[in-house]
Chains A and B, each alone.
Chain A
Amino acid sequence: MAHQHMRKERPGHTLQTSALVHEAYVRLVDQKQVQWQNRAHFFGIAAQMMRRILVDHARSRQYAKRGGGARQVSLDAVAIVSEKRAAGVVALDDALISLAAIDQRKSQIVELRFFGGLSIEETATVLAVSPGTVMRDWTLAKAWLRREMAGGE
């Protein structure tokens, strides 16, 4: 059987993800005045940007769904599962803001892990703490955020 035009792109490397990366890249490159102090600094900013882009997008999607952008044909085909995800991202953003007020480091860990896609070890390096600490913080932060997000529904 022929396998013509097979597009076995890895998950996370689809066009849509590229759009996200593209945006983050442009934003990073456009920060001309920023002098990257080090790699950790770069990752911190990159994760923040990923968060903003995704949350902006998720919020605008919710807004569109409520009628604000009813004329945007491109949003019509959006599946329910994505709506749930969009709502989840917005709820997470809100919950993270609350978490940051209680525990800044745990909130940062979630930002780096979830939005920045960093591993436990990379996160530990960026924050200059041990991987064990990141693991513990990550566990509690997830439990706390889940509860917070469930309560907001």
Chain B
Amino acid sequence: MTPERWQQIDELFHSALEHESSERAAFLGRACNGDESLRREVESLIGSHERSESFFEAPAGDIAAELLAGRQAQLAAGQYVGHYQIVSLLGEGGMGEVYLAHDIRLGRQVALKRLPAQFTLDADRVHRIKQEARTASALNHPNIVTIHEIWQADSSHFITTEFIDGETLRQRMVAGRMKLDEVLDVANQIASALAAAHSSGIVHRDIKPENIMIRPDGYVKVLDFGLAKLIEQKNKSFPGLKESADRPNQTTKGMILGTVSYMSPEQAKGEKVDERTDIFSLGVVIYEMIAGQTPFASNSMSETLANLINAEPQPLSHFVANVPDEIQRTVLRMLCKNKDERYETIKNLQKDLRINEKTLKSRSSEIKNSTATLPATRGTGKQTTETRYGFFAATQSTETASRSFARRITHQLNRSWLLFPQLQEAFCFSNGRSKATDLNR
């Protein structure tokens, strides 16, 4: 097909679509002026256009989960698995489904997690994971959820843990903004759980709001210690990825642990991780509790990747008034891309968190009304700047209104930097000749 012909088809296609469907045939008859093959081509494209077809509606990122996941039927209430009877489905996610179940031997309620079928594990690996889970449970720490059992039935792996009657940190954030003292309290309790685990050589690897439970009495419980290791295996059974020839330094060491937004850079790279990955992830969680959004996540997967690689987090003061500098410094230090620049140990972090708490108390009168100024929004997905600042304006006192306005403008500029080339330098791109053209298929 010549470019001219294609151009002609393109124009006719859109012109025809502007006509009512009843008038299209007549329009095309006139416009094609006897060129039957042109007419057939445009009509067939319009026919294709009108066929309802959802393939393109979901971006590839969304269908990836479907593509890559094996599906298994959910367990029904009343059904028995081993000596557990299913009570109800509590939730499901990337790491499988979680059920409330009744342990008929011990007569107690437990949380029963079934791992997705593709996590087929070799015996050696299961053994090591059990060891680690046992070690974590043996810590008997008030902020660590006890794992009862890891076992296998048919082709599925199950994990039973202590049942916590409470809400996840995600649910807490969706329910409403958190005050800074509450944020620090939760952060301290998580840090305390991590400190205990780290001192026993256990890295959590998957700290995120879904893995943190808050009981009505204020106790924070961290779930799934050591379990993130379960999915490291998956890298080996991800067939499409082995073929690619253009992957220097291909790592098979690691695998994705946790959702992207909470991953440390070294984790995202699949490198070996140590305690400092937990420090980074906790930094993301604290940032989110205060700002109402995570520092690197964005609307598209590409942009999230770009941020993970290049972007520095926006200061917390963009989102909340009167965050003490100390807290800001602590969080930013936790979020350093280079792990050597973060807190070296969780104990060092705890020290600073405690200082932060003191600072906050001493300034309590000053900041009493300036808690996390924005509602937590992550759980509901995207929120427009307008909505967010509608709330912002409503919650600011008049004396801070002008400052709020300035912040609003700055924020909007930051958000729309994509549209302003001069702002792109903030993105740390260097100039230079690209050698990436060989990536074209």
A residues touching B (Cβ–Cβ < 8 Å)?
Answer: 2-39, 41-43, 45-61, 64, 69, 72-79, 81-82, 85-86, 88-89, 92, 97, 102-103, 110, 113-119, 121-122, 125, 136, 139-140, 142-147, 149-150
Contacts and interface: CB of A to CB of B under 8 A. Distances in A.
A65 B34 CA distance: 48
B439 A45 contact: yes
B25 to A, nearest CB: 17
Given A46-B302, A81-B66, A7 B309 contact: no
B64 interface: yes
Interface string B227-270: 00001001001111101101111110001101111010000111
B107 interface: no
Contacts of B231: 15
Contact of B237 (A4, A7, A27, A74): A74
A25 B308 contact: yes
Given A13-B260, A28-B309, A2 B165 contact: yes
A148 B241 CA distance: 27
Contacts of A13: 94, 259-261
Consensus secondary structure, chain B interface: mixed
B123 interface: no
A118 to B, nearest CB: 6
Contacts of B427: 39
A113 B431 CA distance: 26
A36 B48 contact: no
22 contacts: A5-B213, A8-B170, A10-B381, A15-B93, A15-B231, A17-B61, A17-B64, A17-B65, A17-B68, A17-B260, A26-B270, A34-B434, A35-B430, A56-B241, A74-B117, A117-B61, A117-B301, A118-B302, A139-B49, A142-B49, A143-B45, A149-B55
Contacts of B299: 117, 119
A34 B116 CA distance: 37
B305 interface: yes
Interface string B257-297: 01111010000111000000000000000000000000000
A25 B170 CA distance: 26
B31 interface: no
A58 to B, nearest CB: 7
Given A2-B163, A27-B246, A34-B436, 12 more contacts: A15-B95, A22-B260, A30-B248, A31-B436, A34-B435, A37-B434, A50-B301, A55-B240, A56-B243, A59-B240, A75-B70, A143-B13
B67 A89 contact: yes
Contact of A48 (B100, B305, B434, B440): B440
Contacts, number: 335
B240 A57 contact: yes
Contact of B167 (A3, A79, A136): A3
Given A57-B239, A102-B6, A117-B61, A7 B269 contact: no
Interface residues of B, number: 109
At the interface, is chain A mostly helix, strand, loop or mixed?
Answer: helix
A150 B48 contact: yes
B268 A25 contact: yes
B191 interface: no
Contacts of A41: 429, 434, 436
Given A30-B249, A57-B68, A4 B210 contact: no
A79 B247 CA distance: 30
Interface in B43-77: 44-49, 51, 53, 55-56, 59-72
A72 B239 contact: yes
Contacts of A19: 68, 234, 238, 255-256
A14 B210 CA distance: 12
Contacts of B168: 3-6
A5 B120 CA distance: 23
Contacts of B381: 10
